[in-house]
């Protein structure tokens, strides 16, 4: 199935039968990626007295409870409610779901023992484009990202100036293949989150950050149509399913 999308008088044709799924599956398995010092998600049948919600155990249906954390267990999209005292829901922040996106690839720079994505790197990779969404693939890009145990690894992060740059060129949706755009242990500074959302000065209520994606190596850098979908959780963050379509 093909579709034509018109944005700012530019028409792009896409093939809806060729989605590129950037989400990492969330599973009850040791292969699930982990961050923030949590153990794996739990997916298990409901038990009510003698009844077990599993067809294998004699029930008519499979009926599982799921216990997980959107920030720690896989691909999720968050709004500025992630870092504010007041409650703001991702379900109110994200109300439209198709955007023009630029996929870029960066090798974080070594700065005093940290791996940092700089403003200069983003500027160079975006070469003057001002997309609605930016998808950052970090190098090395191995498939182990889908099952990595990130806790206490001091993963790569976005310099606050890089996040400010994205805000200033009008990027509304930022996607990255790390558990956070910020440094794992920063004493609560969350500099890149604050810079991207402009918190507390002038919070960008519609801006979102999607973390824990995986961009397959087969996907080339460049322009795509992004379909960013969340589950309708009233929460700062929700599991999400970003899908790219390559313009034909």
Contact range with ligand NFK by CB under 6 A, out of 56-64, 99-107, 138-146, 184-192: 184-192
Considering only residues 1 through 60, tell me which ones interact with ligand NFK, judged by CB under 6 A.
Answer: 36
Q: At 234, give phi and psi (nearest 5°).
A: -85, 90
Helix 119-126 crosses helix 160-168 at what angle (to 10 degrees)? 40
88 CB neighbour count, 10 Å cutoff: 18
Residue number with CB closer to ligand NFK (207 or 219): 207
C-alpha 112: how far from chain center = 27
Nearer to ligand NFK, 140 or 188 (CB): 188
Exactly one of 182, 191, 235, 242 binds ligand NFK (CB under 6 A); that residue is 182
- DSSP calls for 80-114: GGGS-SS---HHHH----EEEEEEEEE--EEETTE
Question: Alpha helix (H) ranges present in 89-200?
Answer: 90-93, 119-126, 160-168, 191-197
Helix (H, G, I), strand (E, B) or coil at 207: coil
Query: Which residues, listed in sequence order, are joined to residue 130 by a DSSP beta bridge?
Result: none
The nearer residue to ligand NFK, 191 or 243, going by C-beta atoms, is 191
Stretch that binds ligand NFK, among 10-18, 95-103, 156-164, 180-188 (CB under 6 A): 180-188
236 near ligand NFK, judged by CB under 6 A: no
Give, as ranges, the residues between 106 and 135 that touch ligand NFK (CB under 6 A): none
- Write out the binding residues for ligand NFK, residues 66-105 only, by CB under 6 A: 71
Of 32, 180, 208, 240, the one binding ligand NFK (CB under 6 A) is: 180
In whole angstroms, the minimum distance from the beta carbon of 168 to ligand NFK comes to 23
Q: Which two tokens stand for residue 18?
A: 């060729």
CB of 179 to ligand NFK, least distance (A): 7
Instruction: Write out the residues near ligand NFK by the rule CB under 6 A.
Output: 36, 71, 180, 182, 184-188, 190
């Amino acid at each position: 199935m093909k579709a034509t999308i018109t944005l700012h008088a530019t028409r792009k044709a896409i093939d809806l039968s060729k989605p590129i799924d950037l989400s990492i599956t969330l599973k009850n398995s040791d292969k699930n990626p982990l961050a923030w010092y949590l153990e794996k998600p739990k997916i298990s049948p409901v038990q009510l007295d003698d009844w077990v919600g599993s067809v294998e155990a004699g029930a008519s249906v499979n009926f599982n409870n799921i216990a997980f954390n959107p920030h720690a267990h896989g691909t999720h999209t968050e709004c500025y409610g992630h870092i504010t005292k007041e409650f703001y829901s991702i379900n109110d922040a994200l109300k439209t779901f198709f955007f023009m996106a630029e996929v870029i690839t960066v090798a974080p720079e070594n700065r005093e023992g940290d791996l940092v994505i700089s403003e200069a790197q983003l500027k160079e990779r975006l070469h003057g484009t001002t997309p609605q969404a930016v998808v950052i693939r970090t190098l090395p890009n191995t498939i182990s990202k889908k099952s990595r145990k990130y806790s206490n690894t001091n993963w790569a992060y976005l310099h606050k100036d890089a996040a400010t740059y994205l805000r200033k060129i009008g990027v509304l949706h930022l996607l990255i293949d790390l558990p956070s755009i910020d440094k794992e242990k920063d004493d609560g500074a969350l500099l890149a989150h604050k810079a991207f959302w402009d918190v507390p000065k002038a919070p960008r209520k519609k801006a979102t950050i999607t973390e824990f994606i995986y961009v397959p190596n087969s996907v080339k850098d460049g322009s795509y149509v992004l379909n960013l979908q969340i589950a309708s959780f009233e929460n700062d963050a929700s599991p999400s399913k970003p899908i790219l379509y390559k313009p034909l």
